[in-house]
Structures are given as structure tokens and as C-alpha cells.
Structure 1
Amino acid sequence: MEHPADFARLHARIEGRVQGVGFRAYTLRQARQLGLTGWVRNRWDGSVEVVAEGPKGALEDLARRLKVGPSAAYVTHVEVQWAPYQGEFSAFTVRSTG
């Protein structure tokens, strides 16, 4: 089993046609499939924001999947920032728009 030292935190902002196309549900499914914790939400500026924690390899996989998105989405830009693992979350959830 991986140790928390192998874990990290990803903070991503996804731009394009990413609201009203199932992007949050897609991200929720992908993150849970990868065993990650954190959240996804729509932002008032039309982007989608994701904070996820877990094994670095799984987070890198999620970042690749965010660049694709669900079939109805058109992703134009993904900004990813990395931070140390904090162990803040117990599950992956959808949050209210912020």
C-alpha cells in the first residue's frame, strides 16, 4: 500500500464549455474510480474547479481525464497546481457553485 508520502493534492481549474454538460458528474465518477478524495464545483465565471487528494499517479491520471471531459464538453484550458497532501477529505463530493 502507498504511504501518504506518495500522496499529493491537485487543484485544477477547467475552462471551456464545461458547465451544463455533465462535467461535475463526470469528474465525480472519475475521481471515485481512481480512489481519490476531494470535491468538484462550478464557478461563477463559467469554469469548473477541482480539489483532489490521493496517490500522485492517480491524480496525474485525473488531470489527463479533466483535459478530455465528458463527450458534451469542450475543454479549452486546464490549469493544474500541486500541493502537499493534507488528508482533509474522507470522500469525493460535488460542492455548490462558488
Structure 2
Amino acid sequence: MLTRRKTVRKYIRFYGQVQAVGFRWTAMQAAKLYGVTGWVRNEYDDSVSMEIQGTERQIDDVIAAIERGTYIVIDRMEVKKLETVEEERGFRVRYH
């Protein structure tokens, strides 16, 4: 019997060498590849924040793809679970 994979949404804050290294572009490409929705943006404290929605596996795959970025160095991440957004479509870069 096939079971439906549960969709989750997470807020993730990335710290390290994450700005001016192609992080947002890499996140966009990985999001498209793995079929997740959400957004990514630079923060004023040189971190990057993201809301990402998909299965746990899809989210893990996106993060792994980001970590493989040439100049990206993630020192740590803060993760919070959020309520899913049913009507959300696509993944985008957000600006303040």
C-alpha cells in the first residue's frame, strides 16, 4: 500500500558564509529541482532566512544541494516548524 508523504513547512535561518556566495540562486535552483515551495532572503545580520515547504526528504535534499555550493559555508542553522501554506505555489527570492 502506498502512503502519502506528509508535507511540512520549516523556517530555517542559515549562518556562516551565506551572503554574496550565490546562496539564494542555489536555493532557487534546488527548490525547482526537488519541487518544494517557499522563499529565501538575505537578512541584515549577514544570515539568510528561508521558509520551505515539502516532504522532509525534499527539504533535506534542498539543504544538501545548497551545502554543495562552491563558496557556501553553513556554520549552523536554526530550524522551526511552521503551519503549511496550502495555496503556495513556487519558490522565490524575497526582499525586505
- Pick the TM interval, shorter chain: 0.7 to 0.9
Partner Cα separation in structure 2 for residue 44 and residue 2 of structure 1? 42
Q: For each residue in 1:36-56, what CA deviation from the matched residue of structure 2 results, as whole angstroms up to 9, or x when unmatched?
A: 011000001100011011223
Number of residue pairs aligned between Structure 1 and Structure 2: 95
Structure 1: stretches of 5+ with no match in the other structure:
none
Partner Cα separation in structure 2 for residue 47 and residue 94 of structure 1? 14
Structure 2: stretches of 5+ with no match in the other structure:
none
1:70 aligned partner, one-letter code: G
Q: Which residue of 1 aligns with 2:80?
A: 81
Q: For each residue in 1:16-36, what CA deviation from the matched residue of structure 2 results, as whole angstroms up to 9, or x when unmatched?
A: 111111000000111111100
2:44 alignment partner, SS class = coil
| TM-score, structure 1 normalization | 0.83
1:92 paired with 2:74, answer no
Is contact 1:12-1:49 (8 Å) kept?
Answer: yes
RMSD: 2.1
Partner Cα separation in structure 2 for residue 77 and residue 95 of structure 1? 21
Q: For each residue in 1:45-71, what CA deviation from the matched residue of structure 2 results, as whole angstroms up to 9, or x when unmatched?
A: 1000110112232113223344x2521
**How has the CA–CA distance of structure 1 residues 79 and 70 changed in structure 2, closer, same or farther, with 3 Å as cutoff?**
same
Partner Cα separation in structure 2 for residue 6 and residue 76 of structure 1? 28
1:58 paired with 2:58, answer yes
Is contact 1:26-1:69 (8 Å) kept?
Answer: no
